[in-house]
Amino acid sequence: MGQKCSNCGFESINESKFCQNCGVEIIEENPNDINHNSGTRVSKQPIATKAIIGVVGICCIGIIVLFALIAILPDETSNNNFDDTNTLDGVKFNTPVGFTLNSSSDSSIYFVKGDSEINVKYVVTDMGSAKEYVNDDGGYYSVMKIGDLTFYKKSMWKINLSDIDLDNFDPSGIPEDKTDYSEYFFDFKGKIFSISIDDDISNHEKLLKEIIGI
């Protein structure tokens, strides 16, 4: 089969490199490069270029997925409600639900909700345990256990202690409406802390769990 000149359309009868009619050089075409439906030449993209584009596309998709995962993952710091100001001697405490941080120092943290107040304190003492400390500080307390922690509860009363028979005194028998606040002493991470909660606030056990994170 002869070759067709791309300039004048003359079809030569041999394998000549030049058109026998107009003399223009005949360029041999690869049949695979022709779109037989339209008769136009098909531009073939190098395989290496396709590979590079594919790799770049995969990388872009990976980056998008990564940022999406970061956006939906929970912020543990936010959920735990931790703050650098919620730290006493290197131990962090949580702001209880519904309360806000009012003030803090090296030895105490104050949380408030309306007129109600919670005070977390680091007890600086030579005593070896919370129990030893409360015994040395009057010794009138009740005991409450939450998980592995033992809390020694002391109450500040509105009644006059001079009117009480201290030898036969049972602090657990004092009505809640006769107290101003309860202070819970406990050993935690090798240190002694106390948490004072106004008695007009309900569910002290729940608040202690939230503050300590247990």
User: Per residue in 48-78, pLDDT tens?
Assistant: 666 778 788 888 888 998 888 877 765 544 4
Residue 130's alpha-carbon distances to 31, 94, 95, 115, 162, in angstroms, are: 93, 21, 23, 29, 26
Supply the pLDDT for residue 76: 45
Q: How many CB atoms lie within 10 A of CB 210?
A: 18
Residues 102, 118: Cα–Cα separation, whole Å: 10
Residues 113, 53: Cα–Cα separation, whole Å: 59
Residues 120, 212: Cα–Cα separation, whole Å: 10
Radius of gyration of the chain (CA): 42
CATH of domain 81-212: 3.40.1000
pLDDT tens digit string along 133-188? 988 877 667 899 999 999 999 877 655 556 666 566 665 555 555 558 889 999 99
pLDDT tens digit string along 71-122? 776 554 444 444 456 889 889 999 999 999 998 888 899 999 998 999 999 9
Supply the pLDDT for residue 195: 95
Residue of 95, 114, 116, 118 whose CA lies nearest to 197: 118
Residue of 179, 202, 192 whose CA lies nearest to 120: 192
For residue 184, what are the contacts with CB-CB under 8 A and spacing of at least 6? 144, 151, 152, 153, 194, 195, 196, 197, 204, 208
Pick 82 or 202 by higher pLDDT.
202
pLDDT tens digit string along 1-40? 567 777 787 777 666 777 777 777 777 655 555 555 544 4
The pTM for the full model equals: 0.54
pLDDT of residue 191 exceeding 80: yes
Residue of 184, 190, 191 whose CA lies nearest to 211: 184
Supply the pLDDT for residue 42: 47
Residue of 31, 26, 29, 20 whose CA lies nearest to 5: 26
Residue ranges per structural domain of the chain: 1-42, 47-73, 81-212
Pairing mode of beta strands 142-146, 116-122: unpaired
